[in-house]
């Protein structure tokens, strides 16, 4: 295409992916341009093969073919994996030895959103990479037009078989409820339950981009009400919920209690550390202190790192950590697996652990040290101001001699517990969280946070009784 140039809506070029509202900030022409430039980047790196997948959103069948056209115009051999979860596309990148991979997905966003998650080689493509893609498109900085090729590859059976190789729960028949949330993981779930011993109930088990039952985001308690009711109805050992593209997991125990991301990571880490003692386990800065303490108690090296699935993946590769996780439900296994975030594989490993437990998952959860914390509090802050507010707070705390970790924002330790303030990488918001061993302690931590925000001219977030035992 002589004279190719393209300008993206700047709001779509985000930290971890390209994402927007279809028909408003994101179009099929954007999909072509992403393919044209990404294919150029792969070509200049010496590659020629890109795997492509898509989720079940109503706009994905429109965007994916144009993405493929753009890749082919840059001379790529395109391997079309079809409709499925993001982890299937990541798996395809390894299994098919692709030089890059792009997933058309809106993840857990509302139905009118869509977007693109990418890998270059075996590494996440994010941050400056995405900004550079935008610059190259605007400048027409692409390889000469070429004639690539495309073919369809069905890896669903291989993916399920590979996951089942690592199922270690024996023949114990668990009762499990699954809720893929009408997202793109639904068909893989329906295949998996044929293979895993036990009695399985799948709700919202068809791919439907209108998400008729509930929003496909298992970190929001309201979206788990249906699976909690079903766990109670069938007397299940646990329930497993997925987000819209199945790279994030939500877990409910046999009593209907939600296991938060850090609590789930405690269960998984103890198991991994049994055969990999002394190794590093990574969690994001929002995770409970209980997690870091329990990893150390189980003989591991806890490492607190920045929030963001691409940042965690990069840190895992650097440290050789076998396991990592985020509060948001991204779980990354490099133990026997490939190091990418995969809710389906995490579910397989969790079921193996529960099948080998002497007691129930609720007993394991109840035995963890109990703390009281706020949920993740998000409040608006101007894009140009959010990072400077955090820096102002950090400097004041340093002057006061406070015990502060500055890995990602500020995480302040005190005898009562800890509080966190960080700038979101993807939105014009600040994120806060507090955790204490008592209600009085939590109130003192909240007051410290409010004092620092007010010193930077910001109103406090709405705490409104949102404390939870955890």
Domain assignment present for 2: no
Residues 296 and 345 in one domain: yes
* Active-site residue flag, 310: no
Give the CATH number of the domain where residue 218 resides: 3.40.120.10
369 vs 469: CA distance, rounded Å: 10
Among 154, 186, 202, where does a domain finish?
154
* Domain annotation covers residue 146: yes
Nearest of 205, 170, 209 to residue 188 by alpha carbon: 205
- Together in a domain, 204 and 346: yes
Same-domain pairing of 402 and 362: no
**Contact (CB, 8 A) for 281 and 295:** yes
| Domain, as residue range, for 408 | 372-469
Q: Are 302 and 291 in contact (CB under 8 A)?
A: yes
Domain count, the chain: 3
Are residues 49 and 131 both part of a single domain? Answer: yes
- Residue-level pLDDT at 1: 45
| Mean pLDDT across the chain | 95
Tokens of 192: 């998996």
H-helix segments, 276-325:
289-297, 309-319
pLDDT in tens, 102-114: 999 999 889 999 9
Q: What does the pLDDT look like over 336-374, one tens digit per residue? A: 999 999 999 999 999 999 999 999 999 999 999 999 999
**For residue 466, what pLDDT is reported?**
54
Percent of the chain residues topping a pLDDT of 70? 98
pTM above 0.85, yes or no: yes
Q: Same domain, yes or no, for 182 and 291?
A: yes
Report phi then psi at 140, rounded to 5.
Answer: 65, 30
Same domain, 200 and 349: yes
> What would the mean pLDDT of 14-36 be, rounded to a whole number?
96
Domain boundary among 317, 343, 366: 366
The reply to whether 48 falls in a domain is: yes
pLDDT for 469: 58
Q: What is the pLDDT of residue 94?
A: 97
Choosing from 366, 393, 411, the residue where a domain stops is 366
Catalytic residue among 107, 184, 328, 346: 107
Residues 343 and 390 in one domain: no
Rounded CA gap, 367 and 239, in Å?
A: 19
């Amino acid at each position: 295409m002589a004279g190719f140039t393209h300008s993206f809506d700047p709001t779509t070029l985000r930290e971890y992916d390209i994402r927007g509202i279809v028909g408003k900030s994101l179009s099929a022409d954007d999909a072509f341009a992403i393919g044209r430039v990404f294919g150029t980047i792969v070509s200049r790196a010496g590659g020629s093969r890109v795997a492509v997948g898509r989720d079940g959103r109503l706009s994905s069948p429109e965007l994916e073919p144009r993405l493929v056209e753009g890749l082919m115009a840059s001379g790529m051999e395109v391997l079309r994996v079809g409709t499925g979860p993001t982890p299937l596309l990541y798996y395809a990148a390894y299994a098919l030895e692709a030089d890059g991979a792009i997933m058309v997905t809106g993840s857990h966003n509302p139905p009118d959103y869509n977007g693109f998650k990418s890998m270059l080689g075996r590494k996440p493509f994010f941050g400056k990479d995405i900004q550079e893609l935008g610059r190259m498109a605007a400048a027409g900085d692409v390889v000469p037009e070429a004639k690539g090729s495309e073919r369809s590859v069905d890896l669903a059976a291989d993916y399920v078989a590979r996951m089942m190789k690592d199922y270690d729960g024996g023949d114990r028949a668990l009762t499990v409820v699954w809720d893929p949330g009408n997202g793109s993981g639904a068909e893989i779930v329906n295949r998996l339950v044929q293979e895993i011993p036990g009695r399985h109930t799948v709700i919202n088990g068809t791919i439907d981009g209108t998400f008729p039952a509930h929003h496909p985001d298992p970190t929001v308690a309201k979206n788990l009400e249906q699976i909690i009711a079903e766990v109670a109805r069938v007397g299940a050992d646990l329930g497993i919920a997925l987000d819209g593209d199945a790279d994030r997991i939500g877990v409910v125990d046999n009593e209907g209690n939600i296991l938060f991301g850090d609590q789930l990571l405690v269960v998984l880490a103890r198991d991994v550390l049994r055969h990999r003692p002394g190794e590093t386990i990574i969690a994001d800065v929002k995770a409970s202190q209980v997690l870091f303490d329990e990893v150390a108690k189980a003989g591991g090296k806890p490492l607190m790192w920045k929030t963001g699935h691409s940042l965690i993946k990069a840190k895992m590769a650097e440290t050789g950590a076998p396991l990592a996780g985020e509060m948001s439900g991204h779980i990354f296994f490099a133990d026997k697996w490939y190091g990418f975030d995969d809710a389906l594989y995490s579910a397989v490993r969790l079921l193996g652990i529960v099948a080998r437990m002497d007691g129930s998952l609720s007993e394991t959860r109840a035995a963890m040290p109990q703390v009281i914390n706020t949920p993740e509090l998000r409040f608006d802050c101007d894009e140009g101001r959010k990072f400077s507010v955090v820096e102002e707070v950090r400097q004041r705390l340093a002057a006061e001699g406070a015990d502060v970790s500055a890995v990602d924002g500020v995480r302040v330790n005190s005898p009562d517990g800890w509080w966190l303030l960080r700038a979101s990488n993807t939105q014009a918001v600040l994120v806060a969280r507090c955790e204490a061993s008592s209600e009085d302690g939590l109130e003192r931590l909240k007051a410290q946070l409010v004092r620092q925000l007010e010193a930077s001219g910001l109103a406090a977030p709405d705490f409104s009784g949102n404390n939870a035992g955890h």
